[in-house]
Amino acid sequence: NLCFSICVWGWGVIPQHSWLFSALFSVDSAGACFSSCSPKVCIVGSGPAGFYTAQHLIKQHVHVDIYERLPVPFGLVRFGVAPDHPEVKNVINTFTQTAKHSRCSFYGNVNVGKDVSVQELQRAYHAVVLSYGAEGNRTMGVPGEGLAGVYSAKDFVGWYNGLPSCRQLSPDLSCETAVILGQGNVALDVARVLLSPVDMLKETDITQPALEALAHSQVRRVLIVGRRGPVQVAFTIKVDLPRPRKRLTELMLKTALQTPGETEQERRDQASRTWGLRFFRSPVEVLADPERHRTAGIRLAVTRLEGSGEAARAVLTGDVEDVTCGLVISSIGYKSLPIDQSVPFDSKSAIVPNTMGRIKQAPGLYCSGWLKTGPTGVIATTMNNSFDTARSLLDDMESGVLDLSAAKSGSQVITALLEQRGVKPVSFSDWEKIDRVEMSRGEASGKPREKLLTVEEMLHVART
């Protein structure tokens, strides 16, 4: 009787996918209830896309294992969100609930494509979802790009947010003027961090080395450069308003055209640091100092628009403008990288070719997040596209495209393979040890968190 009541309860809570519950539990002629094959799905990447995909799947009685290259979870929420926007990081609370669910397991410190192949994951799971994001840089493709003093925004953000691979960046902030190429949200984040008072930044989770470097920074002026006009800027307003693009344009025009009042003008005159938007400009060359060692300026081509609205295209006018600066930060976009030769990859678009998250010509393989769409949108956008991928996967289970009849060993066989290869995964409870140490170190210095900056230190804490 007890077993029968459990089966009835299961049908009641998942009406959309009641087929899945009946696949997991069967009733024999004597009324006994027994478990058959439980769907096992592997997700590669523990950023927002990975966690949102997992969140949707575990609600439908799918067991999910999340594999992450670093010992710590949360991807760009941890390493990409600006330190002065702590409210955006609150989504970590939701992700933590997902990670602690009985049908979800986290395996950090596992580099898929190196420690274990995608094909090995496919043999161990009913489906594999690639959600590892966009860790590459789009390059400007102009002379002088390799000079000292030129950085990608991805690396610069990783430096002040504690991404281990960016720990040694040590940007030179001894110049007065910095130029940021690109007019998206990341460009604004970088500008704020460069210009914000250190007293404000020291109350955030910015890394201590970055805080010390910014305390000695000589940067006093930041120009944020875009090849198109104010209507086409890629950054977004913080609050949810009707017709946000129109409202954003109105705010910029009001600021640009309105004569400031006496108090505002006095405030501007006394400002020790300034920033501005420079439209209709495209980089042509990074200019070097006389010794050809480092950045001394940037040459910008003057552009004009053909077409209108967001579809407008910037074309060159033939005019150029030189701007003296010692720091150039390229914020023209992230790009995804191929993970494994067995996975189709469009190198031109830097995405995995897919239809609604189903990777083309690769049955049982799915993708979500920036790997699926390209590096666009905010966390809410990623949530919706990840839910779409999860729905595609569940639909394929229901239609029989994914064969659930065969039992899959999942993490059992993968962890055995990793052990043979000398790889020891980090569990979510191991991550919580790291979390507690970081929070404790932060509390001691009046910060919400002081991040561990190397993989070695993370692993040491996790295994202590």
CB 76 within 8 A of CB 47: yes
Mean of the pLDDT values across residues 39-46?
A: 98
- For residue 322, name the pLDDT band (cuts at 50, 70, 90): very high
Residue 1 confidence (pLDDT) above 70: no
Place of tokens 């993490």: 411
Domain ranges in the chain are 40-135+336-426, 138-333
Q: Minimum mean pLDDT among 30-39, 65-74, 186-195, 449-458: which range?
A: 30-39
Using DSSP's 3-state secondary structure scheme, residue 286 falls into strand
Query: Given this structure, which CATH class describes domain 138-333?
Result: alpha beta
- Of the candidates 279, 298, 280, 278, the one whose C-alpha atom is nearest the C-alpha of residue 289 is 298
Single-letter code of the amino acid located at 409 = S
Strands (DSSP E) contained in 11-141 are: 25-27, 33-35, 40-44, 63-67, 104-107, 127-130, 136-137
Tens-digit pLDDT profile for residues 139-155: 999 999 999 999 999 99
Could you list the residues known to form a binding site for FAD, using ranges.
Answer: 49, 68, 76, 112, 370, 377-379
Q: CA-CA distance, 56 to 48, in Å (whole number)? A: 12
What is the spatial distance between Cα 442 and Cα 97, in angstroms, rounded to a whole number? Answer: 23
Percent of the chain exceeding pLDDT 70 equals: 86
What pLDDT band is residue 12 in, cutting at 50, 70 and 90?
very low
Q: Please report the pLDDT score of residue 234 as a whole number.
A: 66
Percentage of the residues of the chain whose pLDDT score is greater than 90? 76
Residue 8 is predicted with a pLDDT of 31
Name the more confident of 232 and 59: 59
Q: Which two tokens stand for residue 245?
A: 């693009």
- Return the CATH fold of 40-135+336-426: Rossmann fold (3.40.50)
Q: Which residues make up each annotated binding site for NADP(+)?
A: 183-186, 227-228, 377
- Other Cβ atoms within 10 Å of 77 Cβ, number: 19
296: enclosing H helix or E strand = strand 295-306
- Asked if 156 contacts 171 with a C-beta cutoff of 8 angstroms, the reply is yes
**pLDDT reading at 28 higher than 60:** no
Structure-derived torsion over alpha carbons of residues 27, 29, 32, 33, reported in degrees to the nearest 10: -10
Q: Which alpha helices (DSSP H) does 112-243 contain, by range? A: 118-124, 153-161, 185-195, 198-201, 208-215
Instruction: Identify the CA nearest to 194 among candidates 230, 237, 157.
Output: 157
d(Cα 143, Cα 320) in Å, to the nearest integer?
A: 15
What is the b/e burial string over 119-131, where b = at least 16 CB atoms within 10 angstroms of the residue's CB? Answer: ebbbebbbbbbbb
- Quickly list DSSP for 302-345: EEEEESSGGG-EEEEEEEEEEEE-SEEEE-S-EE-----TTS--
Residue 314 has phi, psi (to 5 degrees) of: -85, 130
CA distance 151 to 196: 19
Binding-site positions: 49, 68, 76, 112, 183-186, 227-228, 370, 377-379
Specify whether the CB–CB gap between 122 and 140 falls below 8 A.
no
The total number of residues written for the chain in this structure: 464
Query: 376-405: per-residue pLDDT in tens?
Result: 888 989 999 999 999 999 999 999 999 999
pLDDT at 15 over 80: no
Say if residues 261 and 291 touch (Cβ distance below 8 Å).
no
Q: Strand 281-288 relative to strand 295-306: parallel, antiparallel, unpaired? A: antiparallel
338-381 pLDDT, tens digit each: 998 999 999 999 999 999 999 999 999 999 999 999 988 889 89
Confidence (pLDDT) at 149 = 96
Instruction: Please tell me whether residue 282 adopts helix, strand or coil conformation.
Output: strand
> What tens digit of pLDDT does each residue of 235-280 get?
665 665 556 666 666 666 666 667 778 887 887 777 889 999 999 9
d(CA 171, CA 213): 8
Task: Write down the pLDDT at residue 230.
Answer: 77
CA distances from 327 to 144, 179, 207, 279, 426 (A): 12, 6, 20, 19, 38
Return the closest-CA partner of residue 106 out of 160, 148, 64. 64
pLDDT at 33: 30
